[in-house]
Amino acid sequence: MSTTPPRQTQVQLTVNGQSHALTVTRATTLLHVLRNDLALNGPKLGCGLGQCGACTVWVDGEAARSCILPAQELAGREITTLEGLGTLNKPHCVQQAFIDAQAAQCGYCLNGMIMMAARLLQDNDDPNDADIRRALSANLCRCGTHLEIMQAVRLAAQRLRAQKKGAA
Ligand code: FES
Ligand code: FES
């Protein structure tokens, strides 16, 4: 019995400010494209079901789970990955705070934690612990690094406020 190969289509995706022409099928997820076609390995494959947050990116500035987003539906949307937040030489304030607070064991959840924390701080640069917990509550960490992660987000918020004060 022969099976018909899935139909391929072209899609133009904007990722971290750069446009990419990609060949996808209906089943191709954004996460697959990011990791396999664009070598953006910040987003991780955890559950693959939209339940753990390891694959979090921003779509038009809002957090989204790339493992369940069909790539072909994202033409014209602005996609931001962990790599788009900052670089090794110029890390985002939240990335630097996670490094300084040593907020990692295996590190697998950190992409999602950082993307969610950075999004939180855009709206609220003085979050209390309940705000931080709420923002990160749907992101799973199997290593139990929660205390260090909380500390990193507090540190990032503190630095962000100091930066804004300095710039004012
Ligand atoms: S890998 Fe996407 S939510 Fe778990
Ligand atoms: S540090 Fe290992 S899953 Fe969070």
Name every protein residue with a CB atom under 6 angstroms from any ligand 1 atom.
45-48, 50-55, 65, 67
- Distances from the Cα of 78 to the Cα of 31, 89, 151, 153, angstroms: 15, 24, 30, 25
In CATH, what is the architecture of 93-167? Orthogonal Bundle (1.10)
State the closest ligand 1 atom to the C-alpha of 46, by its place in the atom list counted from 1. 1
State the closest ligand 1 atom to the C-alpha of 67, by its place in the atom list counted from 1. 2
Query: Could you report the per-residue pLDDT of 75-95, keeping only the tens digit for each?
Result: 999 999 999 999 999 999 999
pTM of the predicted structure, to 2 decimals: 0.95
Report the chain's mean pLDDT, rounded to a whole number. 96
Give 54 Cα–ligand 1 centroid separation in angstroms.
5
- Residue spans per domain, the chain: 9-83, 93-167
The dihedral sign for the CA sequence 44, 62, 16, 148: negative
In CATH, the number for domain 9-83 is 3.10.20.30
